[in-house]
Structure 1
Amino acid sequence: MRSTGPAGLRIKSPELLVAESGADLEGHGLKRTMGLFQLVCFGVGAIVGTGIFVGLSDSVAEAGPAVAVSYFLAAVTCIFTAFSFAELGGAIPVSGSSYSFAYASLGERTAFLVGWCLLLEYGVSVSAVAVGWSQYLNELLESLTGWHLPDALSAGPGEGGVVNLPAVVVILLAAVLLVRGIRESARATAAMAVLKIGILLLFLAIAFTAFKAGNLTPFAGAGASGITAGASLAFFSFIGFDAITTAGEEVKNPRRNIPIAILICIGVATLLYVAVALGAIGALGADAVADKPAALSLVVNQVTDSTVGGGIIAFGAVVAIASVVLAVMYGQTRILMSMSRDGLIPRVFERVSPKTSTPVANTWIVAAVFAVPAAFSSLDVVVNLTTIGTLAIMVAVNVAVLALRRSAPELKRSFRVPLYPVTPVLGVGFCLYLIWGTGWTTWVQFAVFLVVGTLVYTFYGRSRSRMNSAS
């Protein structure tokens, strides 16, 4: 069964994607074990972490108190695109997420480039998240024992160290849990998600006891450009909500649960982020928060005049960020599995262990590859590239909704984008606006990344694609 689409785009129909993912073939079988609560926890686990615990200070440095507007702007961008993910996730409940959505609507070449960009969103962001975890681990150790890891072993060369050992350790621990099975991973993620929300609520209770309205003035001293730059950085805090759609083959009743989980997770994250940003700045002022590592612990320490509260926040951050590593690595392995099934990357990535029903070799390869930038890179180096890659994927997903409504109007959709076609068009517009805010250096880096991806597809993926032998 083969669909070429207009102008030979090599489109694979949604029905074929679902049929292939659900085929009970040896080495391909994933089990549906996740309910709605576990899926929501998985989504929160993928979203809430480094962006708010570590990245807040960078966004504040750009936007000042108006960082609350930056978070809201980033959230609006995500909400428009979340509607598109919800429609596509309910209509095509497979593990390939945006890669599969692009394959069904925009063709194989675009799908490959979306999968290539997902290496930034999931793979490279794992490295960024692991670096943030290392910062809070040191904060926790210092609050508990008065001792912390030396810079040589807890930071990369760009931050005055040699190798970031904790960042490597958290990636390897996540890999161990992932290869044990999705049921165990989902339980761990649910527990960590509940804990991290509790810790952030504790932070808000402490921060707002010292809230001073005067700390919010001047509110937008950096102007619209500062808000835009802050929003581009704040967007990193929302990366991961689409990981929910990578669980399409392991979720019970996916056509119902995936759209609901996406919208719940975006709502929870937005409320938390805006409240935490206002609480932190209202307590100490923007200058005290800007460019400070482990900013939330700093706020609590100064408000309570003690290191105990900051230690609790640091503990919450260590747990929260570890859950992001776990959820995002899960998403990366499922994307690679889908691409491997289609023949676009080596077959080792599609093999599933009959004992654990997990892609064991895939998981360890991902862990090994992305432990390297985690060990030797700084957080700033990878955040902007991750952000622009994710925004490009979101543009493709919004366009995919438009294309699929035209090419497959009869497709069963458990959720439909409201105010179609205005919503996906606005989603594209907001994504392009935030891409503009990442700056020309990031554009050049991303352009080079896309050129490399195009070459890989042209000289490897296209000739090995299983579309070639489909009939």
Structure 2
Amino acid sequence: MSEVKLIRRLTGKELVVFGLSLMAPITIFTTFGIASEVTDSRVPLAYIFTALALSLTGYCYAQMVKAFPISGSAYTYVHRSVNSKVGFLVGWALLTSYALLPMVNYLVAGIFLHSIVPQIPYGFWIILLIVLNTFINIKGTKMASWVNTLLLTYSFLVVIIFSILSIRYVLLEEPVSSLLSVTPFLGAGFELTAIMAGASLLCFSYLGFDSITTLAEEVIEPEKTIPKAIYAIIGIGTFTFVVVSYLGTLVQPNYQKFTNLDSAAVELVTMVGGNLFVSFFLAGALIGCFASGLASQASASRVLYAMGRDNMLPKVFASLSPKYQTPVFNLLLIAAISLLSFVMTLTLATSFINFGALIAFLFVNISVIFYYFIKNKNRSLLSIFRYLFIPSLGSIFIIYLLFNLDTISIVFGIVWGALGVCYLIYLVKFKGMKQINLDFSEEV
């Protein structure tokens, strides 16, 4: 009987859809009010700073997928360039990001649907969404890609209509020249501390560009396709974030006039489109949650698959369905973890996600230095710039973000990391795990 393997069937366009779905561009509205306060209504500039900084990490992901075009993302890159044990700990941290992100989406969507139909408890909606997403992911990446394309199209339709209505709103009050203003970028002046604080908040809008690397073994020509997709996701996301935040700031340049910063987006949408567009917008927010949950569940299952294949987790995690060529056990496990949405708060789950994502970002930057600069000794002037300077600069920015995490994120990150260390000690002392002799081919 032939070995069951992941099948290469995803194209570059499908990867971009997958990454943007997990990013959920419509979530810009979620942070608009708070970001306006932090940056003193210079949100577009903060997004540009965020994009420039995270492009450094995106570049590092692109370099590592060229070297290792297989599943596992940050776990695989660190495992194979730095050390198997460090790789395990990075994978352990990464799991908190990917495994809990679906739960957050289900929780938000469940609360939203319950508010629309209060007769039906929000727990029913959570279970329904978990079952639907799990079914789609088990059927395979092609079906998931098709569903994500439909959902993402609706989300971008919301963004486009909002942009048109915002332009109309501004022109009813001001001349055409008012659409070309530097105020949303500079405000009363340039304050680096405020912009960096905003970038620290907004960097989490970009979580998702890295997720496509978890699908490397299901992509056609991943060494070429994935780097292009990473840059496209960051570029499209940044354009969307900057345009929407720019127009939003023109519509309401004074964040202090929002009744509630947490729900500023609803107030903004009401201003430009009235109650009818609010309903259309809220449906888009719900669809964004569903699409993000679908993509993040697929990503988490592939990280577990890679760790199981490398004997970092029990072999059952490396099993694939003979019929669908998908890691069904892992998908069902993520679905089970998502049931924690009945008892876990949004704040606690977000704390885990933020810590795990930033640890992964940091070590992907470091893995570029270890693999290209130290191990392969690429030390020409250009190589120093590409494999030492860029990842070092990216690492500095990520470290800055780590130090700016809230206390809850840091505490729970340390606790989760300590559990990972204990499990690693168990693997080394009782399972006899040593430095693994790694085969860099795809058939590992």
Confirm or deny a common fold (TM above 0.5): yes
Q: What's the counterpart of residue 133 of structure 1?
A: 109
Aligned CA distance change for structure 1 residues 37 and 469 (closer, same or farther; 3 Å): closer
1:434 maps to what in 2? 401
Q: Distance in 1 between matches of 2:239 and 2:432?
A: 43
Give the structure 1 partner of residue 146 of structure 2: 187
> Which one of 366, 369, 375 corresponds to residue 334 of structure 2?
366
Q: CA 1:319–1:241 in 2, change beyond 3 Å: closer, same or farther?
A: same
Secondary structure at the aligned position of 1:421 is classed as helix
The answer on 1:26 being equivalent to 2:3 is yes
TM-score by length of 1: 0.81
Is the 1:86–1:259 contact (alpha carbons within 8 Å) kept by the matching residues of 2? yes
- Aligned-partner residue type, residue 6 of structure 2: L
| Contact 2:114/2:121, CA 8 A, preserved across alignment | no
Shift in Å, 1:388: 2.5
* Matched residue, 1:455: 422
Counterpart residue type for residue 412 of structure 2: Q
Name the counterpart of 2:357: 390
Instruction: Specify the code of the residue in structure 1 equivalent to 2:369.
Output: L
After superposition, the C-alpha distances for 1:195-247 in whole angstroms (9 at most, x for unaligned) are 32222122122223334779959947996554444322212111111111011
Q: What stretches of structure 1 of length at least 5 have no aligned partner? A: 1-23, 142-147, 155-163
The answer to whether the aligner puts 1:240 opposite 2:208 as a matched pair is yes
In 1, the alpha carbon distance for the partners of 2:166 and 2:112 equals 19
The root-mean-square deviation of aligned C-alpha atoms, in Å, is 3.0
Q: 1:231 aligns with which of 199, 202, 205?
A: 199
The 5 Å alignment of 1:325-340 reads 325-340=293-308
Q: How does 1:10-409 map to 2 (within 5 A)?
A: 26-27=3-4, 29-49=5-25, 51-134=27-110, 136-137=112-113, 141=116, 148-149=117-118, 153-154=121-122, 165-211=124-170, 219=187, 225-284=193-252, 285-288=254-257, 291-292=260-261, 295-304=264-273, 306-372=274-340, 374-409=341-376
User: Structure 1's 417 and 175: CA in aligned 2 closer, same or farther, altered over 3 A?
Assistant: farther
For residues 280 and 323 of structure 1, do their structure 2 counterparts lie closer, same or farther at Cα, with a shift above 3 Å needed? same
Aligned in 2, Cα 1:410/1:253: closer, same or farther, shift over 3 Å? farther
Say whether the 8 Å CA contact 2:151–2:288 is kept in structure 1: yes
Tell me the TM-score normalised to structure 2 length: 0.86
- In 1, Cα distance between equivalents of 2:375 and 2:396: 24
CA deviations 1:289-338 (Å, max 9, x no partner) are 5855564443222223x311111112222222211111111000000000
Distance in 1 (CA, whole Å) between partners of 2:258 and 2:362 is 32
User: One-letter code of the match for 1:358?
Assistant: T
Letter in 1 for 2:168: T
- Find the aligned partners of 1:454 and 1:90 in 2 and give their Cα distance: 30
Identify the range of structure 1 (282-291 vs 378-387) with the bigger mean alpha-carbon deviation. 282-291
Matched to 2:3, the amino acid is E
Task: Please identify, of 57-66 and 33-42, the stretch whose mean Cα deviation from structure 2 is larger.
Answer: 57-66
Once the two structures are superposed, residues 341-372 of structure 1 have per-residue CA deviations (whole angstroms, 9 ceiling, x without a partner) of 11111222111110111111210111111221
Kindly tell me: are residues 68 and 462 of structure 1, through their superposed partners in 2, closer, same or farther at Cα, counting changes over 3 Å?
farther
**Number of matched pairs:** 424
The answer to which of 337-346 and 71-80 deviates more is 71-80
Contact 2:56-2:390 at 8 Å conserved across structures: yes
Q: Deviations over 1:253-296 (max 9, x none)?
A: 11110000000000110111122222223323423558555644
Q: Given the superposition, is the C-alpha separation of residues 76 and 59 from structure 1 closer, same or farther in structure 2, using an over 3 Å criterion?
A: same
- Larger deviation: 291-300 or 247-256? 291-300
- The one-letter code matched in structure 1 to 2:150 is A
Identity among equivalent pairs (%): 24
Who is 2:442 aligned against? none
State the match for 1:21 in structure 2: none
3-state SS in 2 of match to 1:68: helix
CA pair 332-220 structure 1, distance change in 2 beyond 3 A = farther
Q: Is the 8 A contact 2:45 2:184 kept in 1?
A: no
Amino acid at match of 1:299: L
Alpha-carbon distance in 2 for matches of 1:206, 1:39:
30
